[in-house]
Amino acid sequence: MSTAQYQDFIPPSRLLLGPGPSMVHPRVLHALSLPLLGHLDPVFLGLMDEIQALLRATFQTQNELTIALSGTGSAGMEAVIANLIEPGDRAIVGVNGIFGSRLATMVERHGGTVLPIEVPWGTTIPLELLRDRLSHSAPVKAVVLVHAETSTGARQPLEDAGSLCRDYDALLIVDAVTSLGGVPVEVDAWGIDACYSGTQKCLSCPPGLAPLTLSSRAVHSLQERTTPCRSWYFDFSLIAEYWADRTRAYHHTAPISMLYGLREALRLVHEEGLSARIARHQLNSDALLAGLHKLDLLPLPAAGHRLPMLNCVTLPDRIDEALVRSQLLNNYGIEIGGGLGPLRGRVWRIGLMGESCREAHVLTLLNALEEIFTCHGWLTHPGRAVQAAEETYTGSQRSARRSA
């Protein structure tokens, strides 16, 4: 087949408001296009040191083993499980959505015994239920919790989980793929032993890296393994030697351009400031939910347990959810996500992550939804959704002026 048949690929313009990936800042796109260096070039190794420092600030940790793993967030998930769970280890896994279920599967595949805590999708794992399971299940190697369950929009409280795990000599493993950079993730203060994320959510970098951090307790657990890690590629004892300033031992060829992009994305995070970034995610979520309420689209998780960066809303029976998502994409260039598993056809998952989390994007989506709903006869008073969101922004501005 002649290569002349293939034209230049020009992707269509999209407003990415789904569960990931998110929009990417032009500075990150520029960084991705910079000339390559060798992965052992001293200049590139210096860039790796900068990434580690930026990641420590983002994870709110002093952990030495804080790196960006080659692979997406699911690679970070599997790597943490592969390294911290040995055959025969018992692990309590919170299962309240797709990613809790995936973690349980990974523990089993690496020879561990899963002690699941299953609660309805859209809810979170109560601390008392975790305490009861720990007290009746000792010894337990690890407790595994999803901070931001992307399939439901539920936000798992973690502030007291670390100290509870220490009471039972268990490691606390946390999935922060969707939460890092959008809500507080305080690894040291909360006593988290292993935490991993992904670049394509609130960090607004293309998918391809999994930032992660391990506490000294987790590192000690690695050193005390009685069997080798079943994965060579994800073996932290080998990968750490490449990231460690004192050794820089070759393991695999790092994704150089992606690391350029991550460094720039992290610079943007800290130029804005974590607290300001977190407040921005919350404000835009509040405005979006105020508008969606006028369309009878209500949040699945209870108040206090909702993710501002991943808004999961239930749909009235009259709404053809797949049709609306198709029209949003094809007619407006807007992507939102549908439901997974038992929530398929019942919810939308609307992402306001990183660069996607902007007032203009919220208003654009609400205006498009009002037009589509009106066209299908599902809405008789258009304009109220946009107005409700605008009033949320106006109220926030007034509060800011009073506080100034």
**How do residues 357-388 score in pLDDT, each as one tens digit?**
999 999 999 999 999 999 999 999 999 999 99
The percent of the chain in helix, strand and coil, each rounded to the nearest 5, is 45, 15, 40
Strand pairing category for 148-149 and 154-155: antiparallel
pLDDT of residue 293: 98
Structure confidence at residue 83 (pLDDT): 98
| Dist CA 49 CA 304 (whole Å) | 37
Query: What is the predicted pLDDT for the residue at 400?
Result: 75
**Contact status, residue 352 vs residue 309, Cβ threshold 8 Å:** yes
For residue 397, the model assigns a pLDDT of 80
Q: In the chain, which residues fall in CATH 3.40.640.10?
A: 34-270
Question: Which has the closest alpha carbon to 339: 348, 351, 330?
Answer: 348
Cβ proximity of 281 and 308 under 8 Å: yes
Where are the CATH 3.90.1150.10 domain residues in the chain? 273-403
Count of all residues that appear for the chain in the document: 404
Say if strands 334-335 and 310-314 run parallel, antiparallel, or are unpaired.
unpaired
β pairing state of 113-118 and 194-196? unpaired
Question: What's the pLDDT at 2?
Answer: 63
Report residues of the chain scoring pLDDT below 70.
Answer: 1-3, 404
DSSP 96: S
Phi and psi (nearest 5°) for 247? Answer: -120, -55
Q: What is the DSSP string of 172-230?
A: EEEE-TTTBTTB---TTTTT-SEEE--SSSTT---S-EEEEEE-HHHHHHHHT-SS--S
Quick check: bond before 139 cis, omega within 30?
yes
Closest CA to 369 of 403, 404, 336, 400: 336
Residue 383: its pLDDT value, please?
97
> What is the Cα–Cα distance from 99 to 344, expressed in whole angstroms?
15
273-403 folds as Aspartate Aminotransferase, domain 1 (3.90.1150)
Beta strands (DSSP E) in 215-369 are: 298-299, 310-314, 334-335, 337-338, 347-351
- Own/partner contacts of 284-287, CB < 8 Å, gap of 24 or more, are 284/308, 284/352, 284/357, 284/358, 284/359, 284/361, 284/362, 285/309, 285/311, 285/352, 286/392, 286/396, 287/359, 287/362, 287/388, 287/389, 287/390, 287/392, 287/393
**Under CATH, which number does the domain 34-270 receive?**
3.40.640.10
Amino acid sitting at position 390? E
Is residue 314 classed as helix, strand or coil in its secondary structure?
Answer: strand
Whole-model pTM?
A: 0.96
At 3 the pLDDT is: 64
Q: How far apart are CA 379 and CA 370, in angstroms?
A: 7
